[in-house]
Amino acid sequence: MTTRYRVEYALKTHRRDQFIEWVKGLLAVPFVLYSQPTGVFGDGPNVAKMAEEAHRRYAEIMRDVEMMIDDHISRQKQNQALTQDGTINHGHGHGHGNFLCPPLPSKLGMLVPTAGPFFTRLPLEAAFKYQDRKRYISSRRYVAPSFNDVRLVLNSAQIMAVTGGALQLATFDGDVTLYDDGESLEPSSPIIPRLLDLLRKNIKVGIVTAAGYTTADRYYERLHGLLDAIAGSADLDDAQKQSVVIMGGEANYLFALDLGSPHRLSPVPRARWLTPEMAAWSEADIAALLDVAESALRDCVRTMNLPATLVRKDRAVGIVPTDPSVRIARESLEETVLVVQRILELSSLGAASSPSAHRGPGAATGGVPFCAFNGGRDVFVDIGDKSWGVAVCQQWFGHGAGTAMRGENTLHVGDQFLSAGSNDFKARSVGTTAWIASPAETVELLDELADLMQKKLS
């Protein structure tokens, strides 16, 4: 690995969402050409005209990107079909098996190599118009369309794409998505009635959190507001009340609702929910991987003199602040994640794989998948990651129908899509996602979802 690569990777690539940055760059052009930063007073009509023109141009760009995504999706499908009938790459995964016709990248794939897969088309023009009505993006003269503007437009587009009958499973991260970092879902949380509303609409709900506990009482402590509300709800039938699972430790502990028990949850034995691939991860490999991770974490604590304590669990290892009131510097947390990730990748014990449905048939596994991430105040290395956690929910709820729920019928809502390790980002390989920045944004997103479902029904 060259130093240049390491610097580029460590300082830049993992801190950028290239697709969002690219869209932002496209929107910057009409902003520069049409914004009117000169007049401050008395030019009301001019500003209104400017906003109208900027709106038209932004919307046009979003429509063009929307069409590029359509093209990307159709190529994705062609390439998948070619992979599946085995004529191109004989199941080796990357198209090396046949020199005559390697899969063609889409134009979007060439411009933004990190883009995709897309499980649904994204109505970006409509989503932009919706967010522009809310955020007055086109009326701004000094602040160009921002990263957050684009992130929220993408969320709206994704919500629009899954309403109208497609959405069957909504999974939620815990910290920062349902409650503030380290807090719990209290009975007064505005998120609770909105989650109950999803259940009422027969949508399954999974809480897919990295927080890893082996017993129900700890999850009850974090989620009691929701669990008690479900138990006490008069208008949910029994099947709807059973439509929630907690997936803890990213993909390690499954709890089903058991409303008669004191903590309203009961653990489901692994044998009942591990996917066949997960069942193949050996206990010895898991322990060996955690040993390597532990020693890498200890090295980081020593070399950077971190005010941190090591925490070893059966399916995770992490460092947390020794004094909870002291924050470990963000740079130190990120450095630790990148060091540990690198060491595990080089050790051959760790595998960077996601559930098979999206890797194509026959792709080889080797090693145990893991997720090293910066949790904001701590660093954890978990066995598996949220792509496996969400895949377990898809399988669990799909069993009635005989097959797992599909990516286009799944929406994962989370906050970690950019920081080192970004554990919610992993869910992108198995379903659609929405990227929120606070529990308040989750509330807005759920309201948007409910509004659209209502409109599409009537």
Select 108 or 333, whichever has its Cβ closest to Mg ion: 333
Instruction: Using CB under 5 A, count the residues that bind Mg ion.
Output: 4
Report the C-alpha gap between 256 and 209 in whole angstroms.
Answer: 14
- Which residue of 51, 176, 230, 427 would you call a contact of Mg ion, by CB under 5 A? 176
- Which residue of 125, 415, 441, 448 would you call a contact of Mg ion, by CB under 5 A? 415
209 binds, among Mg ion, ligand IMP, none (CB under 5 to 8 A by kind): ligand IMP
Q: Does 175 bind Mg ion (CB under 5 A)?
A: yes
For the CB of residue 316, give the shortest distance to ligand IMP in the complex, in Å.
Answer: 4
Q: How many other C-beta atoms lie within 10 A of the C-beta of residue 169?
A: 25
441 neighbors 413 (Cβ within 8 angstroms): no
For the CB of residue 233, give the shortest distance to Mg ion in the complex, in Å.
Answer: 26
- Enumerate residues 6+ apart whose C-beta is below 8 A from 326: 307
Q: Does 385 bind Mg ion (CB under 5 A)?
A: no
For the CB of residue 343, give the shortest distance to ligand IMP in the complex, in Å.
Answer: 18
With CB atoms as reference, the residue minimizing the distance to ligand IMP is 375
- Contact range with Mg ion by CB under 5 A, out of 145-153, 165-173, 247-255, 396-404: 165-173
DSSP one-letter string for 382-412: EES-HHHHHHHHHHHHHGGGTSPPPGGGEEE
Select 176 or 230, whichever has its Cβ closest to Mg ion: 176
For the CB of residue 173, give the shortest distance to ligand IMP in the complex, in Å.
Answer: 5
- Enumerate residues 6+ apart whose C-beta is below 8 A from 394: 169, 404, 405, 406, 410, 430, 431
For the CB of residue 364, give the shortest distance to ligand IMP in the complex, in Å.
Answer: 27
- Enumerate residues 6+ apart whose C-beta is below 8 A from 322: 307, 308, 309
69 neighbors 108 (Cβ within 8 angstroms): yes
- Tokens found for residue 174: 């815990």
Instruction: Indicate the residue type of 78.
Output: Q
Nearest to 198 by CA among 164, 170, 227, 230: 170
Q: Does 441 bind Mg ion (CB under 5 A)?
A: no
Nearest to 47 by CA among 140, 142, 130: 140
Select 360 or 376, whichever has its Cβ closest to ligand IMP: 376
Select 127 or 379, whichever has its Cβ closest to ligand IMP: 379
206 binds, among ligand IMP, Mg ion, none (CB under 5 to 8 A by kind): none
170 neighbors 427 (Cβ within 8 angstroms): no
- Enumerate residues 6+ apart whose C-beta is below 8 A from 413: 170, 171, 172, 173, 177, 433, 434, 436, 442, 445
Select 102 or 321, whichever has its Cβ closest to ligand IMP: 321
Tokens 């941190």, residue?
Answer: 308
- Contact range with Mg ion by CB under 5 A, out of 79-87, 147-155, 171-179, 287-295: 171-179
According to DSSP, residue 179 is labeled B
Q: Does 436 bind Mg ion (CB under 5 A)?
A: no
Q: Does 382 bind Mg ion (CB under 5 A)?
A: no
For the CB of residue 208, give the shortest distance to Mg ion in the complex, in Å.
Answer: 10
Select 89 or 442, whichever has its Cβ closest to ligand IMP: 442
Report the C-alpha gap between 208 and 387 in whole angstroms.
Answer: 10
Residues labelled catalytic? 173, 175
380 binds, among ligand IMP, Mg ion, none (CB under 5 to 8 A by kind): ligand IMP
316 binds, among Mg ion, ligand IMP, none (CB under 5 to 8 A by kind): ligand IMP
Q: How many other C-beta atoms lie within 10 A of the C-beta of residue 143?
A: 10
Nearest to 154 by CA among 141, 144, 164, 145: 145
- Which residue of 17, 125, 149, 173 would you call a contact of Mg ion, by CB under 5 A? 173
Note the residues at the interface with ligand IMP (CB under 6 A): 173-176, 209-212, 249, 313, 316, 318, 375-376, 378, 380, 382, 423
- Tokens found for residue 335: 């450095």
For the CB of residue 284, give the shortest distance to ligand IMP in the complex, in Å.
Answer: 20
Report the C-alpha gap between 386 and 390 in whole angstroms.
Answer: 6
Report the C-alpha gap between 318 and 325 in whole angstroms.
Answer: 18
Say if strands 410-414 and 379-383 run parallel, antiparallel, or are unpaired.
unpaired
Select 27 or 152, whichever has its Cβ closest to Mg ion: 152
For the CB of residue 22, give the shortest distance to Mg ion in the complex, in Å.
Answer: 25
Select 176 or 405, whichever has its Cβ closest to Mg ion: 176
Per-residue mark of binding to Mg ion, 115-154 (x: CB under 5 A): ----------------------------------------
Can you give the binding site for Mg ion, defined by CB under 5 A?
A: 173, 175-176, 415
